[in-house]
Structure 1
Amino acid sequence: MSRFAITDTPLASLKVIERRRLQDDRGFLSRLFCGEELGAAGWHAPIAQINHTLTRRRGALRGMHFQQAPHAEMKLVNCIRGEVFDVAVDLRAGSPTFLRWHAERLSPDNGRAMLIPEGFAHGFQALTDDCELVYLHSHAYVPSSEGGVNAQEPRIGIEWPLPVTDQSDRDRGFALLSAAYPGLTA
């Protein structure tokens, strides 16, 4: 029996992963990752890094982050406490959905995760206080390859569900995209 329901999004290669729980009166078991099953969804590398974040305040915004080639990464983003509005933006040069975004509400209750391929920026807004996320990365963090897109970029037009109450100086400082922005290449 598959432990995941895998759903396509309007953005090629971006997937919603829904964890299927095995539960009884004691509680439940929910698988966060299975290389064999998620390989069918596009996960094609070993897990290089696992990160855990806590975002304390509702309305706080994190992102939009990515790593450039040759350190581009896939991410599998799971919410294990609270609820977030999780967003991926297609930055792939030449993609038919270039600069389009897709969002999902992630929470432990709905068991959804986002599988974000290389070439996408990622960020989220906390919809509740004390949100915790677990990220699985296909490539270790490389500071010199890090990039970001301003979460208020008008060319992308993300419709954040809440007023932004908190954002890091770094994230707020990401420049707006120039009209000639070519996108990310492999």
Structure 2
Amino acid sequence: MMSVVDLAPVVPVVVIEDADDAVPLARALVAGGLPAIEVTLRTPAALEAIRAIAAEVPEAVVGAGTVVSAANVTGASAAGARFLVSPGWTESLLDAMRASGVPFLPGVSTTSEVVALLERGVPEMKFFPAEAAGGVAYLKSLSGPLPQARFCPTGGVTLASAPSYLALPNVGCVGGTWMLPKAALEAKDWGRVEALAREAAALG
């Protein structure tokens, strides 16, 4: 199964209000060197956006974020999501994500959650909310006792802090929104998004 944390050093975390923006936004991110795109299921347009990107931007690897229920898993998979990301996990959510056959990153913020996932044969996970949950120092301290766990920290990660995360041996990628400034999205300034994506891709 595809490794989500090895797709790209930076995964843009996208909130799409208007599904018509999905394709040009995805094309800008891909052109900038960020092919793995997490579309969060926080808006009514999200599934339509995933469907459009999957159909029209084949060079993108589109995934679904904010997956918090079995219904989310089913809907995202049917829309064409190629990976799933959750902010946290429960046994039933983990079962649904595993049954989907789609690669997934369950969210963790404590050592016990990490150990519980490793027990269940899940070595790759999202660390969320990264900055609020202890940031680089926390993940660094986990690498000693739990070197087999690999993380995608998301939540408060910036262009300035991303390199510190990516330098850790247990971090495969980071998720962030800094390459998607609200003003650029509202203005549909895809050139600005592409330029910021290129800057982020250079971190890898």
Q: TM-score, normalised by structure 1?
A: 0.26
**Which has the larger helix fraction?**
2
Q: Which has the higher contact order (CA 8 A, sep 6+)?
A: 1
**Which has the larger strand fraction?**
1
Q: TM-score, normalised by structure 2?
A: 0.24
